[in-house]
């Protein structure tokens, strides 16, 4: 099973109307080489699941500003005025979810859970559209699983089988999203031979990874 | 303005104890770091996935993979650690944060706080603010007392969409330190050189004046 590919070999995976999960927190830990390529595909009507909208000049923020998006599920868009404008004009539907609830929803999908009970958002607009349950006299929102057709994640080092190690705070949503999509593409800054990573230090196991793309070194 | 903000940050720093685990929000809360007593040790949590956050990185020493929650290049202490977002919010919700310091648009006498949107004008999203406000053991609101137009931000009841209900413990402004209690909002301290009447006049919330009113 050959997982290491060039971006152009990912062509068959992407389609209009699909949902895509993108790892990263602001500019940190996002698969920029893969996103540059996906932007060229001119996909329509995407649903995007992402922590934040980034900055519109760079990385995922640039991708989001240029992509044809129908709906975004996210915790924060304040750093990207282009997305704010598109939300206000009705071009993009934005569903805002508290960050910890968002990551738990994604974790539920990848972990076979029907949901988690979270106290975050009770008494606020974040309650809207969610089931509220009471346990021992305390109210919780039932946060339900959230998956995607494709996840695009970023790692520091990958071996050819797809074992991953992340670097510093670039880990963020990446290992959680790696478990929550039908097809998972990882971009790694360095792809090494099998056996070269210490088995003790693997943070995401290869079973979650379908494709590996090496970062375009001009972006590093 | 920066002098007012420093005054707020300096007062909040006095609330911090040796060994505390803290999360400091954007704006005035970030300044709190500069005033933490040098003889205590604290751990600063950053919701993007680390404990042991240190100063912002100096120019030329930035690492693209070490940022703070504002996205700025940061550094980490030798004793720090990194983790994924699920763990980061387990720390927040699970009662492992002693304190969070957050800015706000409005706060009220019941401890309600609004800091994530102004309907029709500004909808940035809540990011991790709802999680931090509900999850941290103690929530301190760092806020200037009035808007630029002179409206009190210390309300009887917030009229902007809430970040969390009844979670704020202490409100610190450039004029006053106020504690949220079951009985109501207690005015505990007023700033040096400020008259009590001025604080009352500039506060929309009903204040209970402490018998032991102090200066800060």
- DSSP 3-state of A205: coil
| Burial group, residue A50, by CB count within 10 angstroms (0-12, 13-18, 19+) | buried
Report the pLDDT value the prediction gives residue A20, as an integer from 0 to 100: 98
Task: Specify whether B47 is catalytic.
Answer: yes
- Put simply, whether B21 touches A (Cβ < 8 Å) is no
Q: Does residue A135 form part of some domain?
A: no
Q: Does residue A158 form part of some domain?
A: yes
Q: Compute φ and ψ for B121, nearest 5 degrees.
A: -120, -55
Cα separation, A211 vs A157, in Å, equals 14
Angle between helices A59-66 and A32-40 (to 10 degrees): 10
Q: Does residue A25 form part of some domain?
A: yes
- CB contacts of A96 in chain B (<8 Å) are 123, 125-126
The answer to whether the beta carbons of residues A184 and A153 sit under 8 Å apart is yes
Task: Point out the catalytic residue in the list B47, B167, B174, B189.
Answer: B47
What ipTM does the predicted assembly reach?
0.97
- The answer to whether the Cβ–Cβ distance between A172 and B49 falls below 8 Å is yes
Report the pLDDT value the prediction gives residue B57, as an integer from 0 to 100: 93
Report the pLDDT value the prediction gives residue B22, as an integer from 0 to 100: 97
Give the number of other Cβ atoms within 10 Å of residue A187's Cβ: 27
| pTM of structure | 0.96
- The answer to whether the Cβ–Cβ distance between A119 and B134 falls below 8 Å is yes
Report the pLDDT value the prediction gives residue B91, as an integer from 0 to 100: 98
Give the mutation candidate from A172, A177, A189, A190 for the B interface (greatest B CB count, under 10 A).
Answer: A172
Which pLDDT tens digit goes with each residue over B39-73? Answer: 999 999 999 999 999 999 999 999 999 999 999 99
The shortest C-alpha distance from A169 to chain B (Å) reads 5
Cα separation, A212 vs A10, in Å, equals 10
Report the pLDDT value the prediction gives residue B122, as an integer from 0 to 100: 85
The answer to whether the beta carbons of residues B113 and B167 sit under 8 Å apart is yes
Which pLDDT tens digit goes with each residue over A23-61? Answer: 999 999 999 999 999 999 999 999 999 999 999 888 899
- Split into its structural domains, chain A has a count of 1
- CB contacts of B131 in chain A (<8 Å) are 98-101, 120
Q: Does residue A13 form part of some domain?
A: yes
Q: Does residue A12 form part of some domain?
A: yes
Q: Does residue A2 form part of some domain?
A: no
- DSSP 3-state of B28: helix
CA torsion angle A98 A100 A105 A108 (round to 10): -170
The answer for A 178-217 residues in CB contact with B (under 8 A) is none
Average pLDDT over residues B175-198: 97
- Put simply, whether A109 touches B (Cβ < 8 Å) is no
Tokens of B144: 């200037």
Q: Does residue A81 form part of some domain?
A: yes
Which pLDDT tens digit goes with each residue over A162-189? Answer: 999 999 999 999 999 999 999 999 999 9
Angle between helices A59-66 and A81-88 (to 10 degrees): 30
- CB contacts of A51 in chain B (<8 Å) are 85
User: Which domains, and CATH codes, for chain B?
Assistant: 2-36+97-215 (3.40.1080.10)
Average pLDDT over residues B16-29: 93
CATH number of the domain bearing residue A152 = 3.40.1080.10
Domain that holds residue A170: 7-112+147-219
Q: Does residue A178 form part of some domain?
A: yes
Contacts of A39 (CB under 8 A, 6+ apart): A62, A63, A66, A67
- CB contacts of A119 in chain B (<8 Å) are 93, 134
Which pLDDT tens digit goes with each residue over A96-122? Answer: 999 999 999 999 999 999 999 999 999
Radius of gyration of chain B (CA): 17
Report the pLDDT value the prediction gives residue B153, as an integer from 0 to 100: 98
Average pLDDT over residues A126-148: 97
The shortest C-alpha distance from A126 to chain B (Å) reads 9
Of the two residues A57 and B209, the one the predictor is more confident about is: B209
């Amino acid at each position: 099973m050959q997982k290491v590919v060039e971006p152009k070999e990912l062509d068959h995976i992407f389609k209009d109307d699909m949902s895509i999960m993108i790892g990263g927190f602001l500019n940190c830990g996002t698969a920029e080489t893969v996103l540059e390529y996906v932007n060229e595909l001119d996909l329509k009507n995407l649903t995007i699941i992402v922590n934040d909208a980034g900055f519109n000049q760079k990385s995922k923020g640039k991708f989001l500003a240029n992509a044809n998006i129908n709906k975004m599920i996210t915790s924060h868009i304040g750093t990207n005025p282009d997305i704010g404008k598109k939300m206000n004009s009705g071009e993009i539907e934005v569903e805002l979810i508290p960050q910890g609830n968002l990551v738990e929803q994604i974790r539920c999908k990848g972990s076979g859970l029907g949901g988690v009970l979270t106290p975050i958002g009770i008494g606020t607009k974040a309650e809207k559209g969610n089931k509220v349950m009471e346990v021992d006299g305390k109210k919780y929102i039932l946060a339900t699983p959230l998956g995607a057709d494709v996840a695009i994640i970023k790692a520091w080092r990958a071996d050819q089988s797809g074992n991953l190690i992340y670097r510093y705070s670039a880990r963020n949503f990446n290992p959680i999203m790696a478990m929550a999509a039908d097809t998972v593409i990882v971009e790694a800054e360095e792809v090494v031979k099998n056996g070269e990573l210490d088995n003790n230090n693997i943070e995401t196991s290869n079973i979650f990874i379908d494709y590996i793309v090496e970062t375009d070194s001009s972006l590093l | 303005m920066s002098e007012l903000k420093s005054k707020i940050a300096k007062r909040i720093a006095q609330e911090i104890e040796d060994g505390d685990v803290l999360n400091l929000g954007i704006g005035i809360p970030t300044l709190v770091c500069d005033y933490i007593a040098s003889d205590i040790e604290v751990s600063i949590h950053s919701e993007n996935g680390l404990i042991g956050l240190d100063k912002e990185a100096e120019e030329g020493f930035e690492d693209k993979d070490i940022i703070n929650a504002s996205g700025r290049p940061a550094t980490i202490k030798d004793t720090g650690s990194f983790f994924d977002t699920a763990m980061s919010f387990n720390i927040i919700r699970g009662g492992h944060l002693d304190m969070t310091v957050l800015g706000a648009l409005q706060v009220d006498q019941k401890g309600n706080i609004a800091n994530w949107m102004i309907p029709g004008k500004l909808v940035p999203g809540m990011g991790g603010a709802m999680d931090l406000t509900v999850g941290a053991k103690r929530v301190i609101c760092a806020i200037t007392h009035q808007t630029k137009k002179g409206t009190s931000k210390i309300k009887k009841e917030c009229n902007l969409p809430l970040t969390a209900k009844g979670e704020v413990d202490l409100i610190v402004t450039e004029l006053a330190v106020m504690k949220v209690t079951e009985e109501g909002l207690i005015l505990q301290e007023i700033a040096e050189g400020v008259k009590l009447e001025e604080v009352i006049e500039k506060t929309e919330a009903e204040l209970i004046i402490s018998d032991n009113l102090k200066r800060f």
